[in-house]
Chains A and B, each alone.
Chain A
Amino acid sequence: MQYHIKCKKGEVNKAVLLPGDIERADYIGTKFFNKSKKITENREFHIYNGLYENKPLAVCSTGIGCMSAAVAIEELTNIGCKYFIRVGTCGSLSPEVNMADIIIVTGAVRGDGASKEYVPIEYPAVADYRTVNTLRNRAKKEDTDYKLGIIRTHDAFYMESPFAFGDYKKKIALWAEAGTLAIENESSTLFVIGSLRKVQVGTILVTAGNLITGKESPKNRLQKSIDKAIIIAAGALVDLQEEEKI
C-alpha cells in the first residue's frame, strides 16, 4: 500500500493524467472517462480509473507544487504506472502566448526545490520526446494551434504571479527574455523523476493569464481550452500505449 495515494500495485491504470487541482481530477474522471471508477481519495490525491477511446486511463491530482507532485508520481510509478501527462494552467511570460493558448512543453527551468534533492541542478528537466510528439500529433488531429517550448517551474506563487508582492516583473524579466513561454509549479520535478525512473512524462498547459500584461483569460475561453487540452492529453496516452504494442 502506497503511503500517500493509498493504492496497491495494479489498482491504477498505467497511463495517467496529472492535473494539479483535485476538482479537475474529479471533472476528468467523471466527464471524460467511460466506466469511470473512483479508486481513492486521500489528501490532495484523487484517483480515478476509466476508459477513453476504449483504452484504460487513470487520472490523479497532484496538488499544487513539486513537493506533492513528486509524491504522486513516485508512488504511481511504484505501483506500475508508466505514462504521465500533466494537464494544468500557467501564466504566460511571452507576448506571443495569448489568453487561453495551449502550450506543449519540451523542457522546464528547474526553479523548484524538490528536483534538487534528486539530482544536481545542471541535469536537464526534459519532457519525454515521444510524449511531446504524441501530444503534437493529437493537437494536429484536433486542429488545435499550440505553442511549443521551454517553461519555468517554481515554488513561490506569491513571489512570481500577478498576485505577487513586490516587483515580480523584475524577477521574471530574465526568463521572458530567454524565450521561456510560461510559468507553473510542477513540470520540472515531474520531468526529472521521469528521466530518473525511466517513465514517460509530458506536460500540456493552458494560459490562465499573462504576467507581463497582468491580464487574466476570460473564464469561458479558458474552460474551452482546458477541455481541449484534456482531450489532446487523453488521446496522447491512448496513442502511447498503442505504440508500445508495436
Chain B
Amino acid sequence: MKKMHHLQITSGQIGKFVIMPGDPGRCHLIAEHFENPQLIAQSREYTTYTGKYKGLRVSVTSTGMGCPSAAIALEELIISGAKYLIRLGTTGALQKNINLGDIIIPTSAVRLEGTSVEYIPIEFPAIADIDIVDALIKITHTKNEKFHTGIIMSHDAFYKGSVFADPDFLKREQVWIDSNVLSVENESSAIFTIGYLRKVKVGTILTTVANHLTREVITDEEKVNPIFHLLTDICLEAFKNLGE
C-alpha cells in the first residue's frame, strides 16, 4: 500500500481516533496512555504512534506548528481513515479571567491565517464539530477541571501576536480582545474548516501557557507535561464516548 507523501503512514496503520499535538516531542507522552503503543513513522515534524484505548484503536500524530503543516497532517490522516480528530495544544489567553493552566475548549475560531482561505472564502465559519465539543466538555466537567468555552483565534505569525512579539502586539489584538475571543493559537481554524469540508469530526482542547494581557508565560516545559497527560486522558475518554 502506498505511503502518504508527508506522514509516511499507510491507511491500515492508524485508528479512526487521532490526537494531534503540535509538537512531535510530545507524541510519546500521549502514546504512554495507549495499550501497546507502536511507533509507526517519523518524518519531518510528523511523528505517529498507534495503540489501543479501552478497545478503541487510537493514534497520535503531531502536526508541526501552523496551519500549512497541520492541514497536510489532517488531509493525510483523513485519507488514511481517521474520522474523529482532536488537536491537543497550548494557547495564549486574551482575557483577564483566564489563568495559566486553564483549559480551553473552543467552539470555533477566527480565521486569521492563510491556509483555510485557499480552501473556501473567508466568510465561511471555522467551527469545531459539536459532538466533539460536547464530549470534551462532559469529560472535563466530570473531572472537576476548570475550563472556558467559546471562540479562539488562529494566526500565522507568532512574532506578531504573542508575548514574545514586538511591543505593539496588544494593539493589533485589541479587536479580538473586545470581541470576547478567549485565546490565540496557530492551527484550529484550518483544521475546523477542512474537517467540515471533508465531513469528519474535528475539535480542539488547549492548555493556557501565557496571558497576553498580564504577559505571564510558562517557559518551563516540565510544568506543561502534567497538564498534557490530563488533556490526553480527556481526549481518550471523549473518544470512548463518541465511539459508543
Contacts and interface: CB of A to CB of B under 8 A. Distances in A.
A82 interface: no
Given A107-B108, A179-B199, A126 B151 contact: yes
B122 A126 contact: no
Contacts of B124: 109, 150, 178, 180
Interface residues of A, number: 28
A124 B127 contact: yes
A60 interface: no
B110 interface: yes
Interface in A154-209: 174, 178-180, 188, 195-196, 198
Contact of A178 (B112, B149, B197): B197
Given A106-B130, A129-B133, A122 B122 contact: yes
B148 to A, nearest CB: 13
A150 B123 contact: no
B134 interface: yes
Contacts of B147: none
B116 to A, nearest CB: 9
A133 B135 CA distance: 12
B12 interface: no
Contacts of B181: 123
Contacts of A132: 130
Interface in A95-133: 106-111, 119-126, 129, 132-133
B179 interface: yes
B196 A119 contact: no
A195 B125 contact: no
B121 A123 contact: no
A110 B179 contact: no
A148 interface: yes
B122 A121 contact: yes
B214 interface: no
Nearest to B176: A123
B212 interface: no
Interface string B99-112: 00000000111111
Given A124-B108, A196-B179, A109 B151 contact: no
A124 B126 contact: yes
B136 to A, nearest CB: 11
Contact of B109 (A124, A149, A174): A124
B134 A133 contact: yes
Nearest to B133: A129
Given A119-B179, A150-B124, A196-B180, A124 B134 contact: no
Interface of A: 106-111, 119-126, 129, 132-133, 148-150, 174, 178-180, 188, 195-196, 198
22 contacts: A106-B130, A107-B127, A109-B121, A109-B123, A119-B179, A121-B122, A122-B110, A122-B111, A122-B189, A124-B109, A124-B110, A124-B126, A124-B127, A125-B125, A129-B134, A132-B130, A133-B134, A150-B125, A150-B196, A179-B196, A196-B179, A196-B180
Given A120-B175, A123-B110, A178-B124, 17 more contacts: A106-B127, A106-B130, A109-B121, A119-B175, A120-B110, A121-B122, A122-B110, A122-B189, A126-B108, A126-B125, A129-B107, A129-B149, A133-B130, A148-B130, A150-B124, A179-B197, A198-B180
